Amino acid sequence: MIPFFLRTYRAATTSIRRTSSKTFSTTTRKRTSRIMTPTIKLSSGYEMPQVGFGLWKVENAEAADIVYNAIKVGYRLFDGACDYGNEKECGEGVARAIKDGLVKREELFITSKLWPVFEDGDKVEPAIRRSLADWGLEYFDLYLIHFPGALKYVDPAVRYPPGWHYDGKSEVVRSNTPMHVTWAAMESVVDKGLARSIGVSNFQAQLIYDMLRYARIPPAALQIEHHPLLVQQELLNLCKAEGIAVTAYSSFGPASFVGFEGFAHAKNLVPLMEDPVIVELGKKYNKQPSQVLLRWATQRGLAVIPKTKRTAVMSQNLDCTGFDLEQADVDKITAKDTGVRFNQPSNYFPTDKFWIFG
């Protein structure tokens, strides 16, 4: 059974996927070998690749080459954000790939995100225009509100990316802007052609339900921390019922967070890719543990955005939709859910003013 939202284009691409991984171009485009991946149909009408490449913690000095190499491997979705501080370099990688004939802009799906200090209604458009300029693009395929809860505006001339703190050190200052004002501004960037689809990230059920009451353009996507230790099944149920596509980040659980201070719980847990259940399933299906973890998500209809600088692992991660787990094995992985969340502000810095997951 095809998962909710998932279109595999079986009628159109079965022969390609079974007989060859090569794609052929016209005129100057070079013939390249890449893995064909399914897409998810967004409520906006656009197709989003189900497997993409995440750009969080990609170093500036390496970002252009990593994005370029990922495009060569076959990635078409790139998930960025103002806060990552590498949008200019990522855009350079895209520009080089287009110049070299590896891909056309319309074949890519680029995501960026609005940081909380830009959630005041009159700051949304300048923020997306800054990100577009850094990427060297005319539009984003998807633009997300990165976190709920507007913070006091920080002028990019003072500090960019601005981070969480108003003073750049320790002061968290909330803005009085309500979400309906921010969302109306998000809708306006669609009207102006700056984003094709809009959505949210790190939102919980109550706020999404509230948004759906007033949204002229409903959120097309939700991006959340999602791994076997944090399944958030009720939130997934909401999105399925309301036609909101879900992208999972941090699919490997604690692996993304062990290098940060304040994440003792991440350091004390057995890495998911070393978990006995995941390792045994990898042997059973002749796949890497990372592929098992990604397939657990994609088989249930979610998009994923893993990252790596190693091209061989890029290919492994991208090739996570070409096999199926038995339902009993899917259930076995899901049963590991303990509700452990890593990516929340209070894990990065002391605060008594920003409990967005409370």
Residues marked active site are found at 84
- In which region does residue 333 sit, left (phi positive, over 0), alpha (psi from -120 to 50) or beta (all else)? alpha
Cα 348 to Cα 356: distance, rounded to the nearest angstrom: 13
Cα 331 to Cα 240: distance, rounded to the nearest angstrom: 19
Q: How close are the terminal C-alpha atoms of the chain, in Å?
A: 36
* DSSP symbols for 224-268: EE-BTTB--HHHHHHHHHHT-EEEEE-TTGGGGTTTSTT-HHHHH
H-type alpha helices, 1-59? 10-19
Cα 236 to Cα 221: distance, rounded to the nearest angstrom: 11
Confirm if 130 and 98 have CB atoms less than 8 A apart.
no
* Token couple for 5: 């939202």
Which of 199, 218, 189 minimizes the C-alpha distance to 126? 189
* Token couple for 287: 């796949």
Cα 203 to Cα 116: distance, rounded to the nearest angstrom: 13
Cα 84 to Cα 310: distance, rounded to the nearest angstrom: 20
* Token couple for 288: 């890497």
| CA 103 and chain centroid, separation | 21
Burial class (CB in 10 A: 0-12, 13-18, 19+), 227: buried
